Amino acid sequence: MSQQASAAARPAEAGAVQPRGFILWFTGMSGAGKSTLSTALRRRLEGAHSVEVLDGDEVRTFLSRGLGFTKPDREENIRRIGYVARVLARHRVAVISAAISPYRDSRNEVRRLATEAGIPFVEVYAKASLDALVHRDVKGLYKKALAGEIPHFTGVSDPYEPPESPEITVYTDSETVEQSVERILATLRQQGLTAQH
């Protein structure tokens, strides 16, 4: 056996157990901190897990190009993210989805399909007041939406349906990123999904 092959075999011989895959599903309005928290969580989890982040903007560019922002298109976008997340999680990847996912039924469908596949699903509601989102809006999107210049803008001209019973709610207009990350990690530890501290 080559030295490289021997090294690759050692963890299994030592009885090491690979972490279980799961889906950590962020939902929240634009600018609520989903991407920021996802990046911070990835850094914390990478030592013990294979981690992939499915960021809403990147998915729109590479997986859901051509879909608009009507309700059917938004629902299709979430179905696609959910499908990719399940495929990855089945291979023991910790999947972090960071998309607005404004409709409760779509999120519940993703949860149901994950649960049926035996994949743990943890919903994280990144909550912030509209005033806070408008204040921190570096792209000026809320200002344009409030002026009627952007149609189908979630939380202004399109609905956002908050989750009714997420596993955890983080208050990104009053907590630091570090505080929110610690609370999310604590939830994952309670569910036996990570040992990361």
Alpha-carbon distance of 112 to 17, in angstroms, equals: 27
For residue 30, say whether it is annotated as part of any ligand binding site: yes
Q: Structure tokens of 108?
A: 């519940």
Residue that has been written with the tokens 């908050």 in this structure:
162
Confidence (pLDDT) at 14? 42
Alpha-carbon distance of 185 to 149, in angstroms, equals: 39
Is 70 exceeded by the pLDDT of residue 134?
yes
Residue 142 resides in a domain: no
Range with lowest mean pLDDT among 21-25, 44-48, 119-123 = 44-48
Residue type, 103: Y
Expressed as residue numbers, the domain containing 23 is: 19-129+160-190
Average pLDDT on 110-136 reads 96
Per the model's pLDDT, the better-predicted residue between 134 and 157 turns out to be 134
Residue 71 resides in a domain: yes
Residue 134 resides in a domain: no
State the Cα angle at 55 between 51 and 56, rounded to 5°: 155
For residue 140, say whether it is annotated as part of any ligand binding site: no
For residue 33, say whether it is annotated as part of any ligand binding site: yes
Is 50 exceeded by the pLDDT of residue 7?
no
pLDDT band for position 57 (cuts 50, 70, 90): confident
For residue 5, say whether it is annotated as part of any ligand binding site: no
Residue 7 resides in a domain: no
Residue 49 resides in a domain: yes
Residue 153 resides in a domain: no
The contacts of residue 72 (CB under 8 Å, 6+ apart) are none
- Name the catalytic one among 101, 165, 174, 180: 101
Alpha-carbon distance of 182 to 197, in angstroms, equals: 8
Instruction: Report the SS3 class of residue 53.
Output: strand
Alpha-carbon distance of 154 to 23, in angstroms, equals: 23
Q: Provide the whole-model pTM.
A: 0.87
User: Which letter does DSSP use for residue 150 in this model?
Assistant: S
For residue 47, say whether it is annotated as part of any ligand binding site: no
Residue 78 resides in a domain: yes
65: domain CATH number is 3.40.50.300
Active site residue 101: yes
Per the model's pLDDT, the better-predicted residue between 126 and 57 turns out to be 126
For residue 6, say whether it is annotated as part of any ligand binding site: no
Residue 5 resides in a domain: no
Confidence (pLDDT) at 3? 42
**Count of the separate structural domains present in the chain:** 1
Alpha-carbon distance of 171 to 80, in angstroms, equals: 27
